[in-house]
């Protein structure tokens, strides 16, 4: 069956722009070259110190910092002595730029380090983001921003008082597929967005890991990966939810004794619009569907580090290779140099935390509707 809007000019422009790439990046152009082609100029790269050397820092952020054009891996903070030499040798980090949690405050005197990226368990985000701000360093904090609205507000306050920038690790704001979803909402070429559906989950492994301990994680699947679905609904509509209700499902596994396993929730937006989302640690799921009056966009997988795929009105979308984390960190470095605010600021993280708290409140009440 022929697509009913296949001759729609806005749609043709959408596909054409998609084929050309996003944000000035052309098909076939290597990432580093594409970044170098940016009109932005900077006299030197800013130094980034990673705080917490777990899986994400090791396998995503450190490699991404080999591709960045405006910042580089300058230092590390770790509580594991054996990791120090490994990271120093692999990433050419001088001994004077290696810290632990006992001497962390001394980082204030290190001119090599401009930005501190907090990649610790969720319950430690606020503490070390505030310490970084007091040390006079700009802060990137991995998502979720913290484990409560109160902590988020304290982080924002500390950064403002110490005149440093704060950004949250929402890498998907720099992914071309998600940028098209944001564009679809902002431009309105295909009418208003009318419905958003999203799911993100995976089968979690090691039962002893920190993500399954409430004291460290603050919550389970919802806090860890469900937050991506909250983000997607918010930027797909370009509005804030006004109310929600949520349901929790448990298999009875001892693994999920302390944290949520599977959660579904429905958010209400102005003018009667809704979104429907599910997240889980019990099964794999990974997609985003956005329906507008004259268009339907599907991203599947939607929330991975790479390999995303998209369909817009039955036509496949393909974008050039990018590194989400490299673009994210470079964007923040440019914010620091230009003295501008990050589009994924602390205030953005605070908005998500208000939604997370509302979901947990609804769950505690047996699924009652909660206003935000």
Q: Kindly give the interhelix angle for 176-187 and 227-237, rounded to the nearest 10 degrees.
A: 40
Angstrom distance (rounded) from CA 170 to CA 181:
15
Angstrom distances, CA of residue 366 to CA of 157, 273, 344, 356, 358: 34, 23, 32, 16, 13
- Catalytic residue chosen out of the listed positions 72, 228, 281, 360: 228
Q: Is 117 a catalytic residue?
A: no
User: What DSSP character marks residue 212?
Assistant: G
Q: Residues 312, 318, 324, 327: what is their CA dihedral angle, to the nearest 10 degrees?
A: -100
Angstrom distance (rounded) from CA 14 to CA 21:
11
User: Considering only CA atoms, which of 308, 255, 246, 304 is closest in space to residue 278?
Assistant: 246
Q: Is 83 exposed, middle or buried (0-12, 13-18, 19+ CB in 10 A)?
A: middle
Task: Count other Cβ atoms within 10 Å, centred on residue 143.
Answer: 22
Angle at 295 between CA 290 and CA 301, to 5 degrees: 40
Q: Is 143 a catalytic residue?
A: yes
As given in the structure block, the two tokens for residue 309 are 């795929």
Q: Kindly give the interhelix angle for 227-237 and 346-364, rounded to the nearest 10 degrees.
A: 120
- Catalytic residue chosen out of the listed positions 131, 143, 273, 351: 143
Sheet containing strand 98-99, edge to edge, reads: 98-99, 71-77, 46-51, 115-118, 138-141, 166-168
Please answer whether residues 292 and 146 qualify as being in contact, where contact means their C-beta atoms are separated by less than 8 angstroms. no
- 176: helix, coil or strand? helix
Please answer whether residues 22 and 45 qualify as being in contact, where contact means their C-beta atoms are separated by less than 8 angstroms. no
Give the largest CA-CA distance in the chain.
Answer: 66
Write out the catalytic residue numbers: 143, 228
């Amino acid at each position: 069956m022929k697509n009913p809007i296949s001759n729609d000019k806005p749609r043709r422009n959408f596909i054409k722009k998609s084929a050309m790439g996003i944000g000035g990046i052309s098909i076939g152009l290597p990432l580093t070259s594409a970044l170098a082609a940016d009109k932005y100029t900077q006299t030197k790269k800013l130094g980034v110190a990673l705080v917490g050397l777990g899986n994400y820092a090791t396998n995503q952020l450190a490699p991404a910092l080999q591709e960045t054009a405006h910042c580089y891996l300058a230092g590390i903070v770790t509580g594991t002595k054996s990791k120090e030499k490994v990271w120093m040798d692999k990433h050419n980090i001088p001994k004077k730029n290696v810290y632990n949690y006992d001497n962390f405050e001394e980082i204030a005197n290190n001119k090599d380090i401009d930005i501190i990226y907090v990649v610790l368990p969720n319950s430690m985000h606020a503490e070390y983001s505030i310490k970084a701000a007091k040390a006079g360093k700009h802060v990137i904090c991995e998502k979720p921003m913290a484990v409560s609205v109160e902590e988020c507000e304290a982080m924002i306050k500390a950064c403002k008082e110490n005149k440093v920038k704060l950004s949250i690790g929402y890498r998907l704001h720099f992914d071309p597929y998600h940028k098209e979803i944001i564009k679809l909402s902002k431009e309105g070429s295909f009418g208003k967005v009318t419905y958003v559906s999203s799911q993100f989950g995976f089968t979690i492994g090691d039962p002893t890991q920190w993500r399954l301990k409430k004291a460290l994680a603050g919550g389970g699947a919802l806090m860890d990966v469900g937050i991506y679905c909250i983000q997607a609904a918010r930027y797909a509509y370009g509005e804030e939810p006004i109310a929600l209700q949520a349901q929790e499902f448990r298999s009875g596994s001892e693994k999920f004794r302390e944290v949520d396993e599977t959660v579904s929730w429905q958010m209400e937006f102005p003018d009667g619009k809704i979104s429907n989302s599910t997240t889980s640690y019990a099964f794999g799921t990974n997609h985003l569907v956005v329906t507008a009056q004259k268009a339907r966009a599907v991203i599947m997988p939607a929330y991975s580090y790479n390999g995303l795929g998209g369909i817009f009105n039955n036509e496949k979308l393909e974008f050039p290779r990018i590194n989400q984390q490299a673009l994210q960190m470079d964007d923040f470095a440019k914010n620091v140099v230009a003295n501008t605010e990050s589009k994924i600021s602390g205030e953005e993280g605070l908005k998500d935390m208000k939604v997370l708290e509302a979901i947990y409140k609804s769950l505690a009440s047996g699924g009652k509707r909660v206003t935000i």
